[in-house]
């Protein structure tokens, strides 16, 4: 059973549908206690970091997610949900995140070559790190597999957690992270990444409480 | 590298795909759900569902169909047609759309893009423009290409992007339906003016037209077409292989079907 956290940010239809499609039970909740007692958690999110972090805090979900992480409940942050796992973000100001992944979220503007479009929208191919090759959610993912991105900010300074990056004209951009314990994040949208994405969600649905040892 | 996207467009009226479809291995030829699934398996990078229904009843059928497709197809879905209010955004986003394209709706209400971008994020809002040359000027047309708005296209698109549109679909009415290739001149003008992704529409007639598009206008991020895909004149797999052979980055993957 996968519990999708609803804190008023983003559209959960496709996430729910993708779990239904792969035959995994998924439920959406806005109850912090259901988060604390979940088997596995998805932290979704689109939009602005500051706004999402505020909603996470005011809904009581921030505390609940931290409690869940402490009790080693597998957690997958997707897109802005991944960015929220970081310590802080510099998206229009400075905002505090969950601090489950070391690093910060920074604008791609000024980082990727100025010939490149922002937002980055489209499919890019994953370069798995050594950690990525051992990452349980990438069990059925090959180096070079394509996944779908939509973002203007990226995770920086997260080398120790990095499981995959993508190339943006010679510049590596964080695609996925795996922190301490079963805390995972993908900058891309597995629920919009065709077969590859569905395989990632399937693998995540099998990560046991406590996670698997590296 | 972010790859160039290939996007089939499905015009839907009263729940059926309008432009005739002709696949021998697809039984229900005008079912949007079956066709969406077929294209996704064939390697389409994204799909556009365009609602050309006029009635409220047709609109309801459209959202049902959209939801059905979103339950089975796991690539990005953009919805356009008949979007003129925030509640239209809500209606299609709730049914599984990832992006919403606005055309006449943005012309009627110039604040629509800004408000939608604020509520749903820039990435969700696509400005779609039907553009035609009038007296040597690129002119925006409304209501499915029926009304000349008098607006100069490049300025209009820049303004929409400034208000928060995260992507542009440029449909050249001068090349649309002719199948003689995309409107490179018009696309160049728009690509130079905005820094968000630009999707080329109108004029695809052959694989070579896509090769020319991406080679000649590197700022273009995606190519959109309808009937050349529906009639099977261009197979997406062949198209992507041809683009890759020309050194144009595209998503190609080994099918994991054993």
User: For position A60, which CATH number holds?
Assistant: 3.40.50.880
ipTM of the modeled complex: 0.93
* Positions of B marked active-site: 11, 130
Range(s) of the domain holding residue A126: 2-93+104-204
A192 vs B253: CB contact, 8 Å cut-off?
no
Is residue A191 annotated as a catalytic residue, yes or no?
yes
Say if A213 falls within a structural domain: no
Q: Give the pairing of strands A171-178 and A153-156.
A: unpaired
Residue B73, min C-alpha distance to chain A (Å): 8
Read off the pTM: 0.94
Instruction: Using 70 as the pLDDT threshold, list the residues of chain B that sit under it.
Output: 19-29, 253-258
* Residue A213 confidence (pLDDT): 53
A79 belongs to a structural domain: yes
Sheet-wide strand order for A101-107: A95-96, A86-89, A101-107, A153-156
In whole angstroms, what separates CA A126 from the centre of its chain?
15
Best of A8, A12, A14 to substitute, by most chain B Cβ atoms within 10 angstroms, is: A14
Instruction: Considering the candidates A91, A158, A168, A191, report the single residue annotated as catalytic.
Output: A191
Give the residue numbers in B contacting A (CB under 8 Å), as ranges.
1-5, 40, 45, 67, 70-72, 74-76, 93-96, 98, 120-124, 166-167, 195-197, 221-222, 251, 253, 256
Cβ atoms of A11 and A28 closer than 8 Å: no
Tell me the pLDDT tens digit for each residue of B118-153.
888 888 999 999 999 999 999 999 988 889 999 999
CA distance B238 to chain A (A): 18
Inter-chain residue contact B123 with A48, CB threshold 8 Å: no
Please give the pLDDT value at position B25.
58
Closest CA of chain A from B135, distance in Å: 32
Interface contact flag, B93 A145, Cβ < 8 Å: no
Helix (H), strand (E), coil (C) string for chain A: CEEEECCCCCCCHHHHHHHHHCCCCEEEECCHHHHHCCCCEEECCCCCHHHHHHHHHHCCHHHHHHHHHHCCCCEEEECHHHHHCEEEECCCCCEECCCCEEEEEEECECCECCCCCCCEEEEEECEECHHHHHCHHHCCCCCCCEEEEEECEEEECCCCCEEEEEEECCEEEEEEEECCCCEEEECCCHHHCHHHHHHHHHHHCCCCCCCCCC
In a domain, A158, yes or no: yes
Residue A56 CA to residue A6 CA, distance in Å, equals 9
Cβ count within 10 A of residue B25? 6
Q: Which residues of A touch B70 (CB under 8 A)?
A: 13-14, 17
How many distinct structural domains can be found in chain A? Answer: 1
User: Residue B238 in contact with residue B207, Cβ under 8 Å?
Assistant: yes
Angle between helices A13-21 and B56-70 (to 10 degrees): 50
Looking at residue B194, what is its pLDDT? 96
pLDDT per position as a tens digit, B186-212: 999 999 999 999 999 999 999 999 999
- Of the residues A79, A135, A158, A168, only one is catalytic, namely A79
Beta carbons of B74 and A47 less than 8 Å apart: no
The fold adopted by the segment(s) B5-245 is TIM Barrel (3.20.20)
Cα distances from B56 to residues A26, B51, B62, B82, B88, in angstroms, run 33, 12, 10, 11, 12
For B2, the closest of A21, A124, A197 (CB atoms) is: A124
pLDDT of residue A209: 87
Separation in Å, CA A196 to CA A39, A134, B183: 23, 17, 34
Q: Which residues of chain A have pLDDT under 70?
A: 212-214
A138 in any annotated domain: yes
Tokens of A8: 């008023």
pLDDT score of A11: 76
pLDDT given for residue B258 in this prediction = 34
Q: Which residues of A touch B120 (CB under 8 A)?
A: 46-47
Distance of CA A66 to the CA centre of its chain: 15
User: Given the structure tokens 């294209």, which residue do they identify?
Assistant: B39
**Cβ-contact A179, A135 below 8 angstroms:** no
Residue A212: inside a domain, yes or no?
Answer: no
* Rounded distance between C-alpha atoms, residue B111 and residue A8, angstroms: 24
Q: Would you tell me how many other CB atoms lie within 10 Å of the CB of residue A199?
A: 21
| Cβ-nearest to B70 among A17, A146, A151 | A17
Q: Which pLDDT does position B257 carry in this prediction?
A: 42
């Amino acid at each position: 059973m996968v519990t999708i956290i609803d804190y008023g940010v983003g559209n959960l239809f496709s996430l729910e549908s993708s779990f239904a499609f792969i035959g995994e039970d998924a439920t959406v909740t806005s109850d912090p206690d259901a988060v604390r007692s979940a088997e596995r958690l998805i932290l979704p999110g689109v939009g602005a970091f500051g706004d999402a972090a505020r909603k996470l805090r005011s809904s009581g979900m921030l505390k609940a997610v931290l409690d869940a992480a402490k009790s080693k409940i597998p957690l997958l942050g997707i897109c802005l949900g991944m960015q929220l796992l970081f310590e802080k973000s510099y998206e229009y100001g400075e905002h505090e995140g969950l601090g489950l992944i070391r690093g910060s979220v920074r604008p791609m503007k000024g980082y990727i070559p100025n010939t490149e479009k922002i937002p980055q929208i489209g499919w890019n191919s994953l370069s798995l790190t050594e950690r990525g090759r051992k990452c349980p959610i990438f069990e059925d993912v090959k180096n070079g597999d394509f996944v779908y991105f939509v973002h203007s900010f990226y995770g920086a300074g997260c080398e120790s957690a990095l499981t995959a990056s993508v190339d943006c004209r010679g510049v590596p951009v964080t695609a996925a992270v795996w922190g301490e314990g079963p805390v995972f994040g993908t900058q891309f949208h597995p629920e919009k990444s065709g077969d590859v994405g569905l395989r990632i969600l399937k693998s995540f649905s099998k990560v046991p409480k406590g996670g698997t040892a590296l | 590298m972010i790859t160039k996207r290939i996007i089939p467009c499905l015009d839907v009226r009263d729940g059926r795909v309008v432009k005739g479809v002709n696949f021998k291995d697809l039984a229900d030829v005008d079912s949007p759900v079956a066709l969406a699934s077929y294209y996704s398996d064939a390697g389409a990078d994204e799909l556009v569902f365009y609602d050309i229904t006029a009635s409220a009843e047709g609109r309801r059928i459209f959202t049902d169909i959209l939801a059905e497709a979103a339950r089975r197809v796991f690539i990005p879905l953009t919805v356009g047609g008949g979007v003129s209010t925030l509640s239209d955004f809500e209606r299609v986003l709730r049914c599984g759309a990832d992006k919403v394209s606005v055309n006449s709706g943005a012309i009627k209400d110039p604040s629509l893009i800004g408000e939608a971008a604020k509520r749903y994020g820039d990435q969700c809002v696509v400005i779609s423009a039907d553009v035609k040359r009038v007296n040597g000027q690129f002119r925006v047309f409304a209501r499915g290409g029926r009304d000349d708005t008098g607006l100069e296209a490049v300025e209009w698109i820049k303004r929409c992007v400034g208000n928060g549109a995260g992507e542009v679909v440029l449909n050249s009415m001068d090349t649309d339906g002719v199948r003689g290739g995309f409107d490179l001149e018009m696309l160049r003008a728009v690509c130079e003016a905005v820094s968000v992704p630009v999707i080329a529409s109108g004029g695809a007639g052959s694989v070579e037209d896509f090769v020319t598009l991406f080679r000649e206008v590197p700022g273009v991020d995606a190519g959109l077409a309808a009937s050349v895909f529906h009639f099977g004149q261009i197979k997406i797999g062949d198209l992507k292989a041809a683009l890759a052979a020309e050194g144009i980055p595209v998503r190609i993957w080994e099918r994991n079907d054993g």
